[in-house]
């Protein structure tokens, strides 16, 4: 469903199949078991790392065992959802398709008091062509807040709902936990080639 206010974005319910989402929920529960209130823990490419502030270096705390099931499912996600995500990019910003460089996914847990990075209203980095945030765990929380650089309001949190948007100068958002405790999202990003010159 395309929603035009406060800026164009899509909300897609039941983004993953029931089996895929069940797997993600089990992984999400593992991430929040021992999370500290001010931590962010990310599972990406079978590495789990955590940091307390955006300025912290990424510290790898353990390498996840590549179980056959996990490897099969996560590889399946990339193969299956890359073309699906490209269709969403085509729907929202077809002129950006030619800029495609890479596809990135991660399962991200944020502690209940995660510091300023989640509270600060911002736009994505310029090399992000498309962002998809799928609400995974818990059942009830607060969704991404979207709006202007002065104020934002939350998208309704619903498990297996995807918020999809393309990066523009006006796509301001933040993701405060608002005292609801830890939460886990599955984040997909389509990146373009970055011009560092």
Q: Which CATH class is domain 2-52+62-191?
A: mainly beta
State the distance between the two ends of the chain, measured CA to CA, in whole angstroms.
38
Least confident of 25-39, 40-54, 135-149, 160-174: 40-54
pLDDT higher than threshold 90 for residue 15: yes
**Cα–Cα distances in Å, from 73 out to 102, 143, 164?**
19, 25, 22
Mean pLDDT comparison of 4-18, 24-38, 71-85, 109-123, highest-scoring range: 4-18
Q: In 3D, which of 119, 169, 117, 167 has the Cα closest to residue 142?
A: 119
Averaged pLDDT, 144-167:
96
Write down the domain spans for the chain: 2-52+62-191
pLDDT higher than threshold 60 for residue 88: yes
Q: What are the pLDDT digits (tens) for 170-184? A: 999 998 887 788 999
For residues 176 and 119, is the Cβ–Cβ distance under 8 A?
Answer: yes
């Amino acid at each position: 469903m395309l929603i035009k206010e406060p800026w164009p974005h899509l909300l897609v319910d039941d983004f993953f199949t029931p089996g895929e989402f069940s797997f993600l929920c089990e992984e999400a529960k593992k991430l929040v078991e021992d999370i500290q209130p001010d931590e962010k823990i990310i599972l990406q490419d079978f590495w789990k790392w955590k940091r307390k502030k955006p300025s912290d270096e990424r510290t790898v705390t353990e390498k996840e065992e590549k179980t056959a099931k996990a490897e099969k499912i996560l590889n399946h996600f990339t193969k299956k959802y890359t073309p699906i995500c490209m269709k969403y990019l085509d729907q929202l910003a077809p002129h950006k398709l030619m800029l495609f460089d890479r596809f990135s996914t991660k399962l991200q847990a944020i502690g209940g008091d995660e510091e300023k990075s989640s509270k600060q209203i911002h736009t994505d980095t310029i090399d992000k062509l498309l962002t998809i945030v799928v609400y995974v765990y818990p059942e009830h929380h607060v969704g991404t807040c979207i709006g202007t650089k002065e104020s934002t309001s939350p998208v309704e949190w619903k498990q297996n709902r995807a918020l999809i948007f393309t990066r523009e100068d006006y796509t301001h958002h933040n993701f405060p936990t608002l005292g609801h405790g830890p939460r886990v999202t599955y984040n997909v990003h389509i990146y373009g080639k970055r011009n560092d010159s």
